[in-house]
Amino acid sequence: MSKKTKYGVAAVVLIALVAIVGVSAARSTGKGTLVRIEAVSSQDLVASVTASGQVSPRTKVDLSADITGRITRLAVKDGDFVKEGQFLLQIDPQQYEAQVQRAEAALANARASLAQARANQLQAQRNLERQQEIRKTNAALVSAQEIEQLQTQNEVNQALVKAAEENVKQNEASLKDARWQLSRSTIYAPMTGRVTRLNVEVGETAIMGTLNRDAATLMTIADMSILETKVKVDETDVSRISVGDSAVIQIDAFADTTFLGRVVEISNSSISRTSTAATDQAIDYEVTVRILNPPSDTRPDFSSTAKIVTDTRKQALSIPIIALTVRENEELTNEDKSAPAAAKAPAVQVGKKDVEGVFVVGEDNKVSFRPVRVGIAGEKYFEVLDGLKSGERIVAGTYQAIRELKDGQLVREQPPTPAATKAGGTP
């Protein structure tokens, strides 16, 4: 065999060996579950509760009539700004003016009757005193029976005076009531604000507010300088909210702008709302959030969403929410014995046999389940209290892969893609 032939055979053998090694390497790299891997790092976390509601003024007054009658004058329109004491509307006063006149006449008549009763009583008193003096001088001129009759007549006249006095008081009260009803025919603004609702027109009949409050409401005046949004918060979240917590508010009418707010009130009683299931019932609590910088053209009942900040952490050790999973205690018997003591934190008990934790990726690309204790939850990350150290690599997705992972399983990292950077929702 010539040298040239020997060199050719050697080259073919070398190429074959390289190909075999390459195929073997390719096969080895193709093994393992495809997952997203992320290093444990520190981040700023913000825990929040999001709820929806409606914008309403802090102070508003629903005006209704205290009397029934036809509206003859209306001095405002919907949206007008009014000042306290400003005239708003007039209810036909003729009926109530007549009542005042009748009450005044009845009072005058009662006073005249009182004057007459007092005069009669005075005359009876003088007759009694005169006859008593005569009897003292000469008992034979005036009998005891006449004295008794005069005393009875005097007592009767005293009673008539008292009755007349009470009649005067009664008529004075009737006149006062009639004048009050007449004054109710003219309605003035009880506060400074804007007319946010006007339910009546000239010619319509105003009815008393005690008969039907909704139907009797004539108009609503609101102080639009202090606005709030009342949101409904689920019972599982309301315990995390405190008066004074800050909030970010978005009003649907101003989609491109957010507003600052602060929690000013949390209701003690619940607002029950029946769920779709016949036997279940969801419980909500009303939380009032004051809007600190409301726009001037905000109107009542605008739909709004409040994101209430319940807690914050600066540069807290964090893991993706999707990375946290649950495993049974029996699966932890083969946990990594070489893990540092700080990493072997007490497991968080989810059920009788379940613990929360993450899958840590070792240098050999094999995973081991490790229990962790988490704190507050941000939008995409949990705060880590115990169980991990900064820089350790954990499996951060996908949810399906994490759900099926087992201790000692080989994984390979998924190449980063634009879509992968956006995947990180809560399972």
Q: What is the CATH number of the domain that holds 339?
A: 2.40.420.20
Inter-CA distances, 219 with 78, 86, 182, 309, Å: 9, 14, 20, 37
Is there a single domain that holds both residue 353 and residue 412?
Answer: yes
Q: Given this model, what pLDDT does residue 215 score?
A: 74
The CA distance from 144 to 131, in Å, is 10
Identify whether 162 is part of a domain: yes
Is there a single domain that holds both residue 352 and residue 418?
Answer: yes
Identify whether 383 is part of a domain: yes
Question: Could you list the mean pLDDT of each consecutive 10-residue stretch along the chain, which spans 427 residues?
Answer: 50 52 44 88 92 92 91 94 95 94 95 94 88 83 85 91 95 95 94 93 86 78 92 91 94 90 93 58 89 88 93 92 84 44 44 79 91 90 92 90 90 72 42
**For the chain, how many structural domains are there in total?**
3
Is there a single domain that holds both residue 321 and residue 404?
Answer: yes
Residue from 38, 101, 131 nearest 358 by CA: 38
Is there a single domain that holds both residue 177 and residue 145?
Answer: yes
Is there a single domain that holds both residue 269 and residue 359?
Answer: no
Domain boundary (298, 313, 328) is at 313
Is there a single domain that holds both residue 263 and residue 303?
Answer: yes
Is there a single domain that holds both residue 250 and residue 167?
Answer: no
What domain range includes position 361? 33-45+315-422
The CA distance from 80 to 371, in Å, is 64
Is there a single domain that holds both residue 281 and residue 320?
Answer: no
Q: Given this model, what pLDDT does residue 379 score?
A: 86
Q: Given this model, what pLDDT does residue 384 score?
A: 93
CATH number, position 272: 2.40.30.170
- Pair 187, 216: CB distance under 8 Å: no
